[in-house]
Structure 1
Amino acid sequence: MENFPENAITIAGNGLGDEMVLIREGASFKPNVYLWLYEMGKLEELVSSFHAIRMVIETWF
Structure 2
Amino acid sequence: MADDKSKSGGQDRKRINLNEDYEVRDWAAKFGVSQEDLRKAVAQVGDRAEDVERHLKGAKA
TM bucket (normalised to shorter chain) is 0.3 to 0.5
Q: Which has the higher contact order (CA 8 A, sep 6+)?
A: 2
**TM-score normalised by the chain length of structure 2:** 0.32
Structure (1/2) with the larger strand percentage: 1
